Structure 1
């Protein structure tokens, strides 16, 4: 940050921003990267360069944050929500394959598919891409929460046409805000870069053939992000250790199960998520959440599935029972990198005290 301040480069330009983009690209193993003002901005630009138009369908898992589809909906697209795989809690590739074949038969393929990584768990991009490539449907991966995670030996999102990341304040690597859009396609990133800077044409005066956005990241935020990127592996190790301590300490309690990790995945464990079976545990997820809150410990239910959200009451959904069940019993525990074993012991103590299995 001092370099950025001393250089005078504070706006969305300059060596810090260029260096941050290069370093993000290297970490994500993508040839091209554009740093943006937020992860949502990156998704919006992704939808734009993929040509999403009013009336198009955009497919996504139901179990995700609203930002996965909100920009497309605001562009006039219709979301279609698919259920998730209980083995990963991410988009079910087998269901996707069946639905794409059915969509092709009725002549209504989606403009794009948007898999969403969940709590640091990457989606199965190998299987998802195989399903999408059969019909020429591009993939925009919402990998906002999974920087540092791996799938099939490659970074989360790798294999998608475009990958969106977030550097929001709660992420493993944060710039205090910001995001990035990555791709192996230089032309797509060049198009997104132009749109992110108000779509100014190369002219002395301000010339615009289309309208764009003020979505570029500032050099100050880029400097903050750069300071944290070198410790990404250490941060992932820390989060995985936090997950492991929870899992070990609570392993003997009936009714508690933790978010699974498929053999092909190496989750960053950005958040530790578990399921509370009220019959076996002795109390339900919400009672446990309130008990933690009474001790000053914040926890949250897993994402409420989008097909259950009032904003999407009219959106088509395929399945949804798995996502709904995960929401009904799922709880995210405190997982910050700064947690000490003593901090965790407090959380574990409250959970154990409520167990009546």
Structure 2
């Protein structure tokens, strides 16, 4: 028995989503293709090669660091820095709490113990006051830290004068995690060049990218030479494969280094674009009570990798940073809360913490806004239109 088909009404179509606005997308400049093509044309596609050497020279020239090792990630650079300082089981390493977990993970790689230090309000970076208390207490207990990992958060320089003076007084070397801070300066000097070693990241969301990658900076030629050795599986000089130390596969490929060389040519323009984004947001939020942005203290220049805003619901008519984030997401615009402090993370919560809860409050109130160097006027208008509709009329 046959049945005639019953006509079905067309289902209503929802309007297509607008193109997504990302928080911090890669932004290529043009010269990257030339350097990558050279790698292919010369068959230097494996780790090491002319682009790696050239990229390291570019980083040295830009930052003023005497030596640089191009590596597979900023995390690899941090790990090697701890190895070079002899950090191992039983050692303590003081670390910024208000940061991404990669700042502290390498401490655990080495079997060492992290001790987390709170931020201060002027820069959101490690507090000299809490650092001094930790250094004094650890020293009094005969547990002098093996190193301090200091993060320059969102590109904002930390209070280097005070922090370096404290660490020099207690004889503790500083590793600068400048993963977010290439192009930022403190009193005219590039971040990553104050401590014993500095770390950079070229992940896809950073101010410049090599797809994935990082670098270790130092004025010590011996340290950088050893870092390169360890990063290439610690192969001893011999006609056969011989190894006297544990090595790692941490070197940057010649192809990725080619992307980095092209990116270095536009780095200053990328910094200028991100700083311009910050100024646009600052002007937009100026009339809105309860919304604040992080200002630059005297002597500091931030690359403004991400523009971050604090939304105080007691002054914004009850609108929270989560209200703002969800409103943006409904319009296909990416925004993220500030870093959840490491001392609150399940993997780290059992470790010692020196602080007063400032970073917890920043996490509760703060939101990272779209800040890519390719953010155009139309995208910015979409963002501010949502913000305008979400926040009470000033």
The TM-score normalised by the length of structure 2 is: 0.89
Q: Is the 8 A contact 1:116 1:143 kept in 2?
A: yes
For the pair 1:342 / 2:384, whether they are aligned, the reply is: no
**C-alpha distance after superposition, 1:264-312 (max 9, x if no partner):** 2100000000100011112111111111100111100000000111111
C-alpha displacement of 1:95: 2.1
For the pair 1:233 / 2:298, whether they are aligned, the reply is: no
1:111 to 142, 146, 161: 146
C-alpha displacement of 1:97: 2.1
**Residues 188-207 of structure 1 correspond to what in structure 2 (within 5 A)?**
188-207=223-242
C-alpha displacement of 1:79: 0.7
Local SS of the residue matching 1:115: strand
**C-alpha distance after superposition, 1:290-348 (max 9, x if no partner):** 11100111100000000111111211001141110100000000001110122112111
For the pair 1:354 / 2:393, whether they are aligned, the reply is: no
Distance (whole Å) between structure 2 residues aligned to residue 278 and residue 351 of structure 1 = 14
For the pair 1:25 / 2:60, whether they are aligned, the reply is: yes
Q: Indicate the larger mover: 6-15 or 40-49.
A: 6-15
For the pair 1:175 / 2:210, whether they are aligned, the reply is: yes
1:93 to 122, 128, 131: 128
C-alpha displacement of 1:237: 0.5
C-alpha displacement of 1:125: 2.1
Q: How many residues align?
A: 357
For the pair 1:9 / 2:18, whether they are aligned, the reply is: no
Distance (whole Å) between structure 1 residues aligned to residue 256 and residue 60 of structure 2 = 17
Match for residue 256 of structure 2?
A: 221
Distance (whole Å) between structure 2 residues aligned to residue 155 and residue 345 of structure 1 = 33
**C-alpha distance after superposition, 1:195-242 (max 9, x if no partner):** 100011111111111111000000000000000102111110100000
Distance (whole Å) between structure 2 residues aligned to residue 157 and residue 87 of structure 1 = 20
Q: Indicate the larger mover: 115-124 or 194-203.
A: 115-124
Distance (whole Å) between structure 2 residues aligned to residue 155 and residue 53 of structure 1 = 29
Q: Indicate the larger mover: 132-141 or 101-110.
A: 101-110
Match for residue 46 of structure 1?
A: 81
Q: Is the 8 A contact 1:62 1:320 kept in 2?
A: no
**Stretches (4+) displaced over 4 A:** none
Q: Is the 8 A contact 2:193 2:217 kept in 1?
A: no
2:119 to 84, 106, 127: 84
Q: Indicate the larger mover: 314-323 or 326-335.
A: 314-323
**C-alpha distance after superposition, 1:115-162 (max 9, x if no partner):** 001111122222211110111101111100110001121001221100
For the pair 1:212 / 2:247, whether they are aligned, the reply is: yes
Distance (whole Å) between structure 1 residues aligned to residue 260 and residue 220 of structure 2 = 24
For the pair 1:35 / 2:62, whether they are aligned, the reply is: no
For the pair 1:284 / 2:333, whether they are aligned, the reply is: no
RMSD (Å) for aligned C-alpha atoms: 1.0
2:286 to 251, 256, 259: 251
C-alpha displacement of 1:176: 0.7
**Residues 137-176 of structure 1 correspond to what in structure 2 (within 5 A)?**
137-176=172-211
Note the residue ranges of structure 2 that are not aligned, 5 or more in a row. Answer: 1-35
1:309 to 345, 355, 369: 345
Note the residue ranges of structure 1 that are not aligned, 5 or more in a row. Answer: none
Q: Which has the larger radius of gyration?
A: 2
Q: Is the 8 A contact 1:307 1:320 kept in 2?
A: no
Q: Indicate the larger mover: 1-10 or 330-339.
A: 1-10
